[in-house]
Each structure stands twice: as C-alpha cells, then as structure tokens.
Amino acid sequence: MVTGSGFGLAGKKCFVTGGANGIGREIVRAFTQEGALVFFCDRDPAAGRRLECEVGRGSFYEVDVTDAAALEKALRDAAGPGKALDILVNNVGVSEFSPLLETDVERFDRVIATNLRPVFVASRVFAQLWNARFGFPSGSVVPDEREVTGASSGTDYGAAAGTCSTTGVIRPGRRTGSGAGDMARPLTGNGDGFETALADGPGTVSGAEIPCGRIINIASTRWAQSEPGSEGYAASKGGIVSLTHALSASFSGSGVTVNCVSPGWIETGDYGALSASDHAQHPSGRVGRPGDIARVCLMLADPRNGFIDGENIVVDGGMTRKMMYV
C-alpha cells in the first residue's frame, strides 16, 4: 500500500472512475492517504461501499460509465455547487478479448464506450466546471517567458488547493521570487546554460494566481503492442493516449495538465500465485503491483509537477524495451 510522502495534495478534491477494485482502488487509497478528498465511481456497489468505509473520506457513486448522463451527474455532485474538481483520474476500463472473426460491432463498441468515451465525457465536465470557477482560455498559449513568483520555503510541499507551482524561462542572474534558492544559477561543467531552481509552493504569472488542476488517464502498454483478438482493447487504449495530448493542448493556459499512464502487467489478484518465470521475464525482476501505478499518479498530481504535460508514461517493468525472439 502507498503511504503518505508529501505530494502536496492535502485538501485537493479528486475524482477517480472505476475506483472500487484493482488499480483504481489503490489510487483511491493513495490519494486519501495524501490528504485529498476522494470521490470515486464504479458499477460494483459492494466493493465501492467497502472502500468508502475504509478510507473514510469522500463518497462512492454507483455509476455505469457508459451512461454519460450518470457519470456527469456524479462529477458535478462531487465538485459541489459553484466548485471545480482539482484532480480527475480516468481509470475505468474493461479487458475484453475475442477472436477477430467472432467480434461483432456491438462488442467492439461496448469496449470503446467503457474504456475511451468516458475519458472524454469526464474531461469535458472537468473543463466545464473549471471554466465556471476559474475561466478557460481555450486555444490560448502561455507566453514562453514569464516572470514567476513563488512561496519562500523550498520545503513547503503543499500548494494551496486550486493553485500550483510554476516555472518559466529565467534570465541569467535575474531573481524572481522572495525565497532562497530561486535564483537562476550557472550549471557546473561546460556550456552556457543556466539551471532554474524555483521555490516550491503556489505560483503567480504576471501577478495573477494560477489555478492548478490535473487530469490523469490510465491507458495500457497495449496502445503500442498487441496480441490476436485485442482490437477493441487496443483501439480504446490507443485512443486514450491520443486523447491525452489533444486534451493537453485544449487545456493550454488554464493551469490544468493532462497526462497518461500506461501500465504493463499489474497483478490485481493473488500476487503470491505468480511463478518465478512470471517475475523473471521482466527486466525489473518482478510483476507490477497496483501501488506502482498509484505512485506515478501521485507524482503527476503533485502541484510542483506542472511542467509534465501531454505525456504518456509507461510503467511496465521494462517489458516494452525488451527485445524478444522465440
């Protein structure tokens, strides 16, 4: 289980789809342990209610995400009147495989409607809530060079809810904040570059407070690798990766980053039942656990990590980098 590590999420309002079991359950636990108020939905009411009681914060919504109206209602209810969500984790998904000749259009559509379409639906609601609360400069571009001021303490992990740390292009020798360590300083070694070391904490651009939001989508290494009979699943996960960078562009200038995590083999059942060969085939030496994904989500949600945007982070123990011959 993930334990608290100071990711600056105290007081953040988070919504996780497909949060009652597997990777989603560990994400709910991890964000709760970091002090976030976590709401989550799932179509498994028994598991959802158990987790709701376990974490003791936030609420569980029984929702079938193929019902766009029900998903939207849950998101708006979690945000509250006139409020926005700080973090959205689009985790829900089904693994459904069948031989191509036996896969009808309805089955293909069902996988897309469960895995891909809810990412768009939930992200669009997130944008609407964000726009109503903070404004949404759709299509705008943040200037390449910004004067940035930050909190003074480099040990303050927690940006205030709704604000985020920022970085900008810093001219050599120009100080841009009140905190120690926020001076652009020469790099060691050869070259003419400069290293920027901004203090942690809430930031401003041109004197205006920057709201800080995060959307994290869970895809799969199958966005780039396939086996026979995986058409619907591969298409849905590939769509999530592409949708991630499209959303990142659309959210540009809003204070919201959009990133994607692609898990490899993450064992959500009996980890002890895995064989030595299961573990040994991974360059990392082991099969993944749900906590491996939850920790990456925490990192991406950290208010200090606003310079990671539009990315797909593969977490698979090195398997997609391993050359294999039979």
- Residue 163 pairs in a beta bridge with 211
Place of tokens 């939850």: 294
| Residue 177 tokens, joined | 């904040």
- pLDDT at position 161: 45
- pLDDT at position 4: 52
- pLDDT at position 163: 60
Identify the helix (H) or strand (E) that includes residue 76: helix 68-79
| Residue 28 tokens, joined | 């709910």
Burial class (CB in 10 A: 0-12, 13-18, 19+), 188: exposed
- Residue 44 pairs in a beta bridge with none
Q: Over the chain (326 residues), what is each successive 10-residue block's mean pLDDT?
A: 73 97 97 97 97 93 98 98 96 91 94 97 97 76 39 34 47 33 33 32 50 96 87 95 97 95 91 92 92 97 96 93 83
What's the pTM? 0.80
- pLDDT at position 164: 64
